[in-house]
C-alpha cells in the first residue's frame, strides 16, 4: 500500500484531469443518501473523477477561492447523475481531508492526515 497526504491527493486529481485519466477517490459522505440503499452520512463512497467539461457559472461565486478557503476541491464525476438532466456526469465538491483512498492508474493509495 502506498500513502499520500491531502496535498498529494489534490495534485494527483489535478494531474488526472489534465491527462484525461479517471481517478477514483473514496471518501466519507457528508450528508445522508439521496436514494434508498445509497451510502449514508459518515459512510465511504467512491467518486470517479475525470476531465472537467467547460463550466457554466450559475452564480457569481468564485468557486476556486471558495474551495481553497474551505479545503475542498470541485471535481467532475462520471458515476453520478446530474440532478436536473438525469445525464451521467455531475459536479461534486470534495473535502480533501475526508478522502481515505485513491485509485489511479492501477495503483491504490491510502491517505494519511497528520
For residue range 36-93, list pLDDT tens digits in order: 777 778 889 999 999 988 877 777 778 788 888 888 999 999 998 888 888 999 999 9
Instruction: Give CA–CA dist 90/52, Å, rounded.
Output: 10
Torsion of CA 68, 69, 75, 81, to 10 degrees: -170
Instruction: Give CA–CA dist 106/94, Å, rounded.
Output: 22
**What is the number of domains present in the chain?**
1
Phi/psi at 3 (5° precision): -120, 145
Higher pLDDT, 113 or 102: 102
Instruction: Give CA–CA dist 74/68, Å, rounded.
Output: 10
pTM: 0.84
Indicate the pLDDT class of residue 112, thresholds 50, 70 and 90.
confident
Domain extent for 94: 2-111
Instruction: Give CA–CA dist 113/48, Å, rounded.
Output: 22
Amino acid at each position: 500500500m502506498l500513502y499520500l497526504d491531502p496535498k498529494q491527493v489534490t495534485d494527483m486529481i489535478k494531474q488526472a484531469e489534465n491527462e484525461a485519466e479517471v481517478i477514483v477517490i473514496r471518501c466519507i459522505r457528508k450528508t445522508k443518501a439521496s436514494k434508498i440503499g445509497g451510502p449514508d452520512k459518515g459512510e465511504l463512497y467512491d467518486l470517479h473523477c475525470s476531465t472537467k467539461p467547460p463550466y457554466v457559472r450559475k452564480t457569481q461565486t468564485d468557486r476556486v477561492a471558495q474551495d481553497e478557503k474551505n479545503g475542498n476541491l470541485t471535481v467532475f464525476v462520471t458515476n453520478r447523475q446530474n440532478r436536473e438532466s438525469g445525464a451521467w456526469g455531475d459536479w461534486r465538491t470534495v473535502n480533501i481531508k475526508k478522502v481515505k483512498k485513491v485509485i489511479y492508474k492501477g495503483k491504490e493509495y491510502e491517505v494519511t492526515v497528520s
